[in-house]
Amino acid sequence: MAADQDPPPAYAASERYGPRVHRSVRHGAVLLVVGTVQFIVAMAITQVGYGSSYSLTGNYMSDLGAVNCGTFGGTASYAGHYACSPWHDVFNISIVIMGLLVILATILIRTAFPVRRSRTIGLWALALAGLGSVGVGLSPEDVNIAVHSGSAVLAFAGGGIALVVLAFAMLRDTRWEGFRAYTFFSGLITLIALILFVSKVDLGLGVGGMERLVVAPVFLWSIVAGIHLARIPTFAPRLFSKPSAE
C-alpha cells in the first residue's frame, strides 16, 4: 500500500476523521459514478433497439440482454416470458463494465472509511455486487439462467447489504456527515424490495417496476456518494506522532 494510503495507526483510531480524502478515493469515486451512469445510459439505448414492445413494468431488466428471441425461464423462481433484444450486446457489455468499475472503485475508496470491521464487510459486499453484475452480463438469461439468476441475486443483495453496513462504517467520520441515514435507508429499501421481488410481490409495479425499485437506491447512492467523494479535497501524506509513555 502506498504511503499516502496508509490508514492511521491503532493509537489514532479514536480520532474523528475528516474532512479530506486520499487522491485514490477521488479516482475511485469517479469510477463509481462513471460505471453507474454508463450502464443507465446503455439500458436506455438498448431499450430503443428493443422497440415499443418493451415495458418498464412488464419486462425484466435482463430481457434487454437476451441474446436470442424467444420464451425463456419457466423455473420455480423465474417466470417464463418472451424477450427479443437486438442490441443485447450494449446491455451485456455495459453491465460487465459497471461491475468491473465497481470492484476497482471499492478498492480505491476504502480509505474514505475509518478502519473498522464494518468497513471491511461493507466494501466486500459492494465488491461482490460488482462481481454479480459481471456474472449477469457474461451469462444472459437465455444462455445460462441458473448462473444469471444467482449473479443477479448476488448483485442485488450485495448492494443492499453494502449500504446498510457502510452506514455504520461512516460513524465518527466528518466526511460522511449527512450521508449516514441516507446510506442506511437506501440499503434497507433495496433489501426489502428484493425480498418482495423474490416473493413475487410487486406492489402493483409489475416485475420490471419492482426490479427497478431494488436497484434504484443503490444506483442513486453510487452517483450521489461518488460525486460527494470526488468533491472532497485531497491531502498529502500525514505523519502521526506516537503518544509519549508519560
Q: What is the pLDDT of residue 23?
A: 84
- What is the extent of the structural domain holding 55? 21-231
In a domain, 156, yes or no: yes
In a domain, 147, yes or no: yes
In a domain, 134, yes or no: yes
- Which pTM does this prediction carry? 0.83
In a domain, 59, yes or no: yes
In a domain, 8, yes or no: no
* pLDDT block averages, 10 residues each, the chain of length 246: 47 56 88 97 94 89 90 58 88 97 95 90 97 95 89 96 95 87 96 94 91 96 94 63 47
In a domain, 14, yes or no: no
In a domain, 240, yes or no: no
In 10 A of CB 13, how many CB atoms? 13
Number of domains in the chain: 1
In a domain, 126, yes or no: yes
Q: Which residue has the cell 505523519?
A: 239
